[in-house]
Amino acid sequence: MISYLKHISITLLVAVILAIGFIYSGIYPIGADNKHNALTFWVLETLRTKSIARAAKDIDVPPLNDPLLLLSGGADYNDMCAGCHLTPGQTENDMTLGLYPSPPNLTLTADQHDHDHGEGSHDDPSVIARQQFWVIKHGIMASGMAAFGPTHDDDRIWAMVAFLQKLPELTPAQYQIITARQ
Ligand code: HEC
């Protein structure tokens, strides 16, 4: 028994030393033009999905149908977000092609773009809305997605969430009108 445990400890120690050696060696390809291997991808994707779902689950979603919300949220989206998350009619730009992870195309519905929102999100639109609010407020670590909470209050963030619910339905011309600064 003792020798069995000793064997396991030595194996673990060697694994830790090899892992630290790997980190210090500098051979990990950190460029954004590289793709993660399947394991790293799964770890990061699962970490993001589960973390956002848990953090956002108790957020109350206010009414999002007020047209004034759409106008202020639309203007903010156009100024601060469209450069990464696209406008109706666009399918890609320098940011979606160059950033890794790539910013999801928010002119598509959450079901159409390739981001998983966890259980229940397909049946309940408020799951998507509260997760979008949380992401805009807090950002996503080690990605291009900044936290807008330090510089924008909750009302302003909810206005952008309200606009995001309508964005997939807008034509390029409607988008232009709604997002123009009043
Ligand atoms: C510099 C590029 C960039 C800008 C500017 C940006 N984002 Fe993002 N955003 C990202 C990236 C990259 C992700 C995906 C991060 C990930 O998968 O880990 C993301 C994720 C999101 C998500 C989560 C989408 C999903 O389906 O999971 C929302 C919502 C979002 N952004 C909204 C916004 C809003 C609103 C703004 C403007 C206030 C904004 N973003 C500005 C790059 C950006």
Residue 159, ligand 1, Cβ within 6 A: no
Nearest CA to 155 among 79, 55, 63? 63
Asked if the model's pLDDT at residue 86 lies above 80, the reply is yes
Asked if the model's pLDDT at residue 50 lies above 80, the reply is yes
- pLDDT tens string 163-174: 999 999 999 999
Per-residue pLDDT at 181: 82
Per-residue pLDDT at 175: 98
Confirm if 144 and 84 have CB atoms less than 8 A apart: yes
The percentage of residues in the chain with a pLDDT greater than 90, rounded to a whole number, is 88
Per-residue pLDDT at 111: 76
Question: Which residues have CB under 8 Å from 69's CB, separation 6+?
Answer: 158, 159, 162, 163
Average pLDDT of the chain is 93
Instruction: Say how many C-beta atoms besides its own lie within 10 A of residue 13's C-beta.
Output: 10
- pLDDT tens string 91-133: 999 999 999 999 999 999 877 776 667 766 666 889 999 999 9
Residue of the CA atom closest to atom 41 of ligand 1: 81
- Report how far ligand 1's centroid is from the alpha carbon of 21 (Å): 34
Residue 168, ligand 1, Cβ within 6 A: no
For residue 31, give the amino acid letter.
G
- Report how far ligand 1's centroid is from the alpha carbon of 46 (Å): 17
Q: First-to-last CA distance in the chain?
A: 76
Per-residue pLDDT at 2: 77
- Report how far ligand 1's centroid is from the alpha carbon of 2 (Å): 52
